[in-house]
Structure 1
Amino acid sequence: MQTGYYSSAAGMVTQFNRLDTIANNLANVNTIGYKEDNVVVGDFMRIFKEARDELPNANQTKEGAAFLNRTLTKSPQVVDSFTDFSVGDLQKTSNTLDFALSKDNLFFAVQTPQGIRFTRDGSFTLNEEGKLVNKQGYEVLGTDYKTSNNGITLNQEDVVVKVDKNGQMYTNVPDSFTMVENSKLLVIQPENLSELKKDSDNLYSLVNSDAFDVVEDSGAVSQGFIEKSNVNAVKMMTQLIETNRLIGMYQKAMDTQMNDMNKDAIEKIASKS
């Protein structure tokens, strides 16, 4: 059996998976609030050091040696994936209903048909009913969402809308410049970031939907700004080139295994017959 061929094929599949992640990052380089994804590629020695105490046979036994000999031929593989939640650059828009969060691990919340979802994209608008919604039309939630069962609603008379660093909204009394408290944007922090999963429409969900803390005094809300993607395009392009080169190397190794080595073996057998 030509184990080198199968190892090369598996290595190529690993790089294809990595390529998918890189391509998705590059496709979202201009997506508001998008967070960069990454994969961790592990080799056998690293995986072995982490798991050797859980191997099915003791190392010093004959069975253990056979197990290791079989496993040594295995190729690098994707052993983990993660999302970089660091803050992207803030871009000024001067739009009253644009909001950005200037600190890590904080999110706005919206109500979807599938339940509460979380986002870093604070580019909001008002719908025909005066409700504050995101680009997909989902209602943006306020801190009173459990009691009101509704999102944030602004009256047509609310000409002036100001929001402080904690998400507290202030609107003007009709026909005056007197500002009064209105709703407050719900800003949350997941208890465990590893349980935060990417959903569609640049949203996130939690494995346990209630596993988050409401941050009353975040000091992170910036009105009139949006948070740009934290994808580093130069780094992604470098990784793209590197991955394509690795795929080419694995392809060449497969070709060598199947063609050159087989041809050499056949010629040697033929010369002896």
Structure 2
Amino acid sequence: MVRSLWSAATGMNAQQTNVDTIANNLANVNTTGYKAQTAQFKSLLYQTLQTATTTANGDPKPTTSQVGLGVRNSSINSSFNQGSLLASSSDTAFAIEGEGFFAIQGSDGNTYYTRNGDFTWATNGNRGMILTNQDGLPVLSSTGRTITLGSNYITSKITISQDGTVCYPDANNNAQSLGIKIGMYQFNNPGGLQRTGDSLFQATAASGAVLNEATNRNVTPSRMVQGYLEGSNVQVADEMVNLIVAQRAYEMNSKAITTTDEMMQTANNLKR
């Protein structure tokens, strides 16, 4: 009976993590570029009560007798399905259609990746302008450099083509390339990316090496859309159903602990 106490306790712990994951998804339902997460489970060790032997009559038994010892969280997977494109009045709002990521240079000098294209132009202290995210971190170009323009450019006239090329109108109001392209990068296994907060991801050995769309011809190029942002891919209805299922599972494990406690109490009262 004590075994059931610990098994049910592992179930409650696992379902608590499941509820935490669902709550985080619901909290980020309006977070630009957020990717939903799903908790996965796996069973713990099994204890063998009886090996495959024979019955009292000498007949062979085809299976063994094993009892499970509970459950644990095996992983929390991210879903990188495309989120809805939401119109924005900002000239520096960019959404990606496809598998690409924007590259951001962190304050620690490392490169991070995001689907949040809510950018802005900021002065870089040298009478120029630099493209940054809302936290002031520089956006990187396809060559891995910060995107910097001179102070003679009017930011409201800057346009971005579908491949990320930064353009500016000439004297005839025709958009001309400035020779700068906003970088878009892909990964063989985006599920292996490590979340660092602020909708940023970091490359790991599990995600594989970063693939630059501008130089790698083996990937399908993404499409950049100016004036739109990619919304969260959280499906509220699905998350609410998952929340109900997780809550019921938590209640059932709690009931197993209560039942075990009552059985132990009954056994202790046999001497009376």
Q: CA–CA distance in 1 between the matches of 2:123 and 2:83?
A: 31
8 Å CA contact 1:165, 1:218 repeated in 2: no
Residue matched to 1:167: 164
Q: CA–CA distance in 1 between the matches of 2:191 and 2:135?
A: 25
Q: 1:92: how far off?
A: 1.1
| Equivalent residues in 2 for 1:17-166, closer than 5 Å | 17-43=17-43, 72-104=67-99, 106-114=100-108, 115-129=110-124, 130-145=129-144, 150-159=145-154, 160-166=157-163
8 Å CA contact 1:102, 1:220 repeated in 2: yes
Q: 1:73: how far off?
A: 2.9
Q: CA–CA distance in 1 between the matches of 2:233 and 2:68?
A: 38
Residue matched to 1:10: 10
Q: CA–CA distance in 1 between the matches of 2:136 and 2:104?
A: 9
Q: CA–CA distance in 2 between the matches of 1:19 and 1:213?
A: 35
Q: CA–CA distance in 2 between the matches of 1:202 and 1:232?
A: 18
Question: Please, which runs of 5 or more residues in structure 2 have no aligned partner?
Answer: 54-63, 215-219
Q: CA–CA distance in 2 between the matches of 1:226 and 1:244?
A: 34
Q: 1:210: how far off?
A: 8.1
SS for the counterpart of 2:266 is: helix
Q: CA–CA distance in 1 between the matches of 2:253 and 2:222?
A: 50
SS for the counterpart of 1:238 is: helix
Q: CA–CA distance in 1 between the matches of 2:250 and 2:239?
A: 16
Moved more, 210-219 or 177-186: 210-219
SS for the counterpart of 2:256 is: helix
Q: 1:60: how far off?
A: 5.6
Task: Report the TM-score, using the length of structure 1 for normalisation.
Answer: 0.82
8 Å CA contact 2:40, 2:74 repeated in 1: yes
The percentage of counterpart residues that share the same residue type is 29
SS for the counterpart of 2:123 is: coil
The one-character-per-residue Cα deviations of 1:159-178 (angstroms, maximum 9, x if unpaired) are: 311111110110134x6624
Q: 1:257: how far off?
A: 1.0
Q: Does 1:251 align with 2:254?
A: yes
Q: Does 1:179 align with 2:175?
A: yes
The one-character-per-residue Cα deviations of 1:75-94 (angstroms, maximum 9, x if unpaired) are: 23222321000100001114
Moved more, 7-16 or 183-192: 183-192
Match of 2:234 among 224, 228, 231: 231
Aligned length: 248
What amino acid sits opposite 1:41 in the alignment? F
Q: Aligned pair in 2 of structure 1 residues 219, 164: CA closer, same or farther (>3 Å)?
A: farther
Match of 2:245 among 213, 227, 242: 242
Give the number of the structure whose residues are more often helix, by fraction. Answer: 1
Q: CA–CA distance in 2 between the matches of 1:219 and 1:5?
A: 52
Task: Report the TM-score, using the length of structure 2 for normalisation.
Answer: 0.82
Match of 1:214 among 201, 212, 215: 212
Q: Does 1:202 align with 2:199?
A: yes
8 Å CA contact 2:120, 2:132 repeated in 1: yes
Q: Aligned pair in 2 of structure 1 residues 189, 14: CA closer, same or farther (>3 Å)?
A: same
Residue matched to 1:64: none
SS for the counterpart of 2:112 is: strand
Q: CA–CA distance in 1 between the matches of 2:236 and 2:223?
A: 26
Moved more, 2-11 or 242-251: 242-251
CA RMSD of the aligned region, Å?
Answer: 2.7
